């Protein structure tokens, strides 16, 4: 077999075995991972990334630079989710009520391995919004207590605090972040200044959805913990981009949407809570008797739930591992560099995302100077079928461009060319 068909075989053999018992499945996964590794010795080989792109079934002619809004599933994940759905519909009561317990726990383990934490620290939820609600709902705060929320938080990171806590008379402190910081310390300093003796929680986004800026969660967690402050993180825009070791990050809670850069089926999310911080958490939803379970599973006590998507998340993690965390991260950093260097020296464009390695990765925001971003976004779509997200707030007026593993360098060339024409 030539290298193209070998890789295709590897991916499809994974899809075909997604439902088999774990032993057989792991063996085939090993083989596929090994094959992929041999094929990708040269990380700069563009033909490999074209093969990756071929695993996604985008609408004809579409250039998708909007992964930060919502990710696509590769065919492997689509196929396996559909097969799980067919099984469920063949015998609904069997699979919904206990038939997939072992498989569910396997998904939990895979997710925990991906984020270098313990499976007893992972709950399988629906999205980041739910995770942020769990955090805000859980805290026993008193009038006058303070929660710090930077000004770039997504509504899913602010509204839960307003809804569950503000009416108790707590204070939401909203420090303003720089758009183009030059170092992590600059951001840490903003948070340091916002802390007072009344601060109880820092709820912070890991990667901003506005300009893709990465915030230094580890440094802020260390500073917070020295003062007895809890740290909850919104990871909607970072999970699946660069390698994340949750113990190393040191935060207490971490909520992510698996349907963005991790390519899981829509409606799957991940919630992490450090062992020693789990005592603070209360379930948002309670149903069956085992809601009194003290393990992290008490946060996912939904009764009837979306099992095909949950098990499809397991396949999405297989897919993530097939390419490999390091290779994915290196690719996104390479694309970032490729995209930025095509425009950076041209005065008609202004990047609204910090350039430093530790301050951004897969999301880059660029302004077409002198043009309203909403108009530029529409023109890009109408004339070039390029989808991306306009960001007009925060004095940004820029296009949010998401780079992903399905983005090829020729896609970036197409985008750059379109931007020049505009
Ligand atoms: C930073 C951030 N947080 C939370 C969310 C909400 O994600 P979901 O709808 O998957 O809960 C988004 C969605 O774009 C986001 O960008």
Give me the number of domains the chain comprises: 3
pLDDT at 43: 52
State residue 30's pLDDT score: 52
How far is the centre of ligand 1, averaged over its atoms, from the C-alpha of 389 (Å)? 13
Look at strands 269-273 and 199-205 and give their pairing.
Answer: unpaired
What separation in Å is there between the alpha carbon of 294 and the centre of ligand 1?
28
Spell out the alpha helix ranges (H) of 165-238. Answer: 184-194, 217-226
Q: What is the CATH number of the domain that holds 338?
A: 3.90.1150.10
Ligand 1 atom with the smallest distance to the CA of 128 is: 11
Report yes or no on 336 lying in a domain: yes
Looking at the structure, do residues 147 and 169 belong to the same domain, yes or no? Answer: yes
Q: Closest ligand 1 atom to the C-alpha of 234? A: 3
Predicted model pTM: 0.92
154 Cα to the center of ligand 1, angstroms: 7
Q: Which long-range contacts (CB under 8 A, 24 or more apart) does 167-171 make?
A: 168/141, 168/142, 168/143, 169/142, 169/143, 169/144, 170/141, 170/142, 170/143, 170/144, 170/145, 170/146, 171/144, 171/145, 171/146, 171/147, 171/198
Based on the fold, state whether residues 353 and 397 are members of the same structural domain: yes
Write b or e for each residue in 130-140: b if 16 or more Cβ atoms lie within 10 A of its Cβ, otherwise e: bbbbbbbbbbe
Cite the DSSP H helix spans in 123-180: 128-138, 155-164
| Index of the ligand 1 atom closest to the CA of residue 205 | 1
Domain span at residue 27 reads: 1-39
**Co-location of 248 and 291 in the same domain:** yes
Domain match, 217 and 126 both: yes
Pocket-testing residue among 161, 237, 362, ligand 1, by greatest number of atoms within 8 A of Cβ: 237
One domain, residues 143 and 283:
yes
Ordered per-residue pLDDT tens for the chain, 422 residues? 344 443 443 444 444 444 444 443 454 455 455 545 544 555 568 999 999 999 999 999 999 999 999 999 999 999 999 999 999 999 999 999 989 999 999 999 999 999 999 999 999 999 999 999 999 999 999 999 999 999 999 999 999 999 999 999 999 999 999 999 999 999 999 999 999 999 999 999 999 999 999 999 999 999 999 999 999 999 999 999 999 999 999 999 999 999 999 999 999 999 999 999 999 999 999 997 666 789 999 999 999 999 999 999 999 999 999 999 999 999 999 999 999 999 999 999 999 999 999 999 999 999 999 999 999 999 999 999 999 999 999 989 999 999 999 999 999 999 999 999 99
Whether residues 203 and 305 share a domain: the answer is: yes
pLDDT for position 226: 98
Strands in 363-368's sheet, in edge-to-edge order, are 349-351, 363-368, 398-402, 389-391
Q: Do 394 and 313 fall within a single domain?
A: no
* Residue 154 and residue 248 in one domain: yes
Q: Are residues 117 and 261 in the same domain?
A: yes
pLDDT for 106-116, tens place per residue? 999 999 999 99
Q: Alpha-carbon distance 70 to 263, whole Å?
A: 9
Distance 53 CA to ligand 1 centre (A): 24
349 and 280 share one domain:
no
Q: pLDDT of 91-142, one tens digit each?
A: 999 999 989 999 999 999 999 999 999 999 999 999 999 999 999 999 999 9
């Amino acid at each position: 077999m030539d290298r193209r068909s070998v890789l295709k075989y590897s991916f499809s053999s994974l899809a075909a075995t997604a439902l088999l018992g774990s032993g057989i499945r792991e063996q085939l996964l090993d083989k596929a991972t090994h094959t992929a590794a041999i094929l990708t010795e040269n990380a700069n080989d563009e033909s490999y990334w074209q093969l990756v792109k071929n695993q996604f079934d985008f609408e004809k002619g579409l250039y998708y630079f909007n992964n930060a809004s919502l990710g696509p599933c590769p065919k492997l994940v689509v196929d396996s989710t559909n097969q799980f759905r067919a099984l469920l519909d063949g015998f609904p009561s069997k699979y919904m009520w206990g038939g997939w317990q072992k498989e569910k726990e396997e998904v939990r383990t895979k997710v925990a391995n991906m984020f270098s934490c313990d499976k007893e620290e992972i709950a399988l939820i629906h999205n980041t919004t739910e995770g942020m609600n769990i955090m805000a709902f859980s805290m026993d705060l008193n009038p006058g207590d303070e929660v710090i929320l930077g000004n770039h938080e997504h509504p899913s990171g602010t509204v839960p605090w307003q809804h569950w806590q503000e009416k108790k008379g707590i204070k939401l402190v909203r420090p303003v972040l720089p758009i183009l910081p030059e170092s992590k310390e600059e951001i840490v300093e903003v948070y340091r200044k916002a802390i007072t003796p009344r601060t109880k929680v820092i709820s912070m986004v890991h990667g901003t959805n506005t300009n893709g800026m990465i915030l230094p969660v580890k440094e802020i967690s260390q500073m917070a913990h020295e003062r007895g402050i809890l740290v909850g993180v919104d990871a909607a825009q970072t999970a699946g981009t660069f390698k994340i070791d949750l113990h190393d990050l040191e935060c207490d809670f971490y909520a992510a949407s698996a349907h963005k850069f991790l390519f899981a089926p829509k409606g799957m999310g991940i919630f992490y809570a450090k062992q020693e911080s789990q005592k603070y958490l209360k379930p948002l939803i309670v149903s069956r008797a085992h809601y009194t379970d003290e393990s992290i599973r008490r946060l996912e006590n939904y009764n009837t739930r979306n099992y095909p998507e949950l098990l499809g998340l397991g396949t999405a993690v297989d897919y993530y591992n097939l390419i490999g965390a390091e290779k994915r991260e290196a690719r996104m950093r390479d694309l970032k560099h490729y995209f930025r260097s095509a425009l950076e020296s041209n005065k008609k464009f202004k990047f609204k995302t910090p350039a430093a390695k530790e301050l951004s990765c897969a999301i880059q925001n660029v302004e077409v100077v002198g043009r309203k971003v909403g108009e530029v976004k529409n023109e890009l779509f109408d004339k070039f079928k390029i989808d991306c997200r306009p960001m007009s707030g925060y004095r940004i007026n820029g296009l949010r461009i998401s780079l992903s593993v399905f983005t090829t360098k020729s896609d970036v060339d197409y985008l750059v060319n379109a931007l020049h024409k505009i």
